[in-house]
Amino acid sequence: MAKYLKLQDELDAQAKHGLEVLPREVVEAFVHSTQELRESGTAKGLAIGAIAPDFTLGNQIGNNITLSEKIAKGPVILTFYRGGWCPFCNLELRAYQRIIDRIHEAGAQLLAISPQTPDHSLSVHEKNELSFHVLSDLHNQVAKNYKINFKLRDDLHDFHRSLGAALDEHNGDDSWELPVPATFIIDKQGVIRFASVDPDYTKRTEPNEILNLLQSL
């Protein structure tokens, strides 16, 4: 077995599987939606050097987690994911779990954020056997402050429902809003030192790259 399993290899395999099993019209709709979001120029996220907005969110067991309290102890990785219904997100979370001990050894902490309700966040935590906080950003309030939220096109709602990904059920509201998958590294002064925001949900920052950046702070 390879010493390091690349997340992007796993994501590419998942994307290939999707092309094989999903109806063509579904695949084309998702691809077009991603292109449209990229071309719109919205949801670009906060830039490197910006002050990270503080927040308090409930984790998977209902405990409140406050960003400013965490960064007082060391750098924080924020990773925004779409939800437990997204196989690409689950792969990313498991990839972080594989290196969580090394993240802690670097003096950092990891917080994963989605707009899902706490019950669904708990399911994500348990299913992926995670040992880091999974936070519920109800109504995408934090995602809006980090400028990564967007509204899913109406014509994609039925496709999502057919795939067991009805956002109104998972997120507890009818906004059909999501965060663009994004990762930020925030230093002890609350400054964003790294930002990766990509409308293409099949692409994610390699966790080992995040680890290398942490070690250089």
Q: How confident is residue 4, by pLDDT bands cut at 50, 70 and 90?
A: low
Structure confidence at residue 1 (pLDDT): 37
Average pLDDT of every residue of the chain:
94
Closest CA to 51 of 164, 186, 181, 217: 186
Q: Give burial (CB, 10 Å; 0-12/13-18/19+) of 110.
A: buried
Contact yes or no for 185/168 (Cβ under 8 A) = no
- 69-73, 122-126, 130-134, 176-180: least confident range: 122-126
Stated pTM of the model: 0.94
Q: What's residue 5's pLDDT?
A: 80
Residue 207's nearest CA partner among 176, 185, 175 is 185
Residue 65, H or E segment? strand 64-66
- pLDDT at residue 42 greater than cutoff 90: no
DSSP SS3 for 84: coil
Locate the DSSP E strands across 85-216: 109-114, 133-136, 149-151, 177-179, 182-186, 192-197
Q: What pLDDT digit, counting tens, does each position of 102-111 carry?
A: 999 999 999 9
Phi-psi group of 53: left, alpha or beta (phi > 0 → left; psi -120 to 50 → alpha; rest → beta): beta
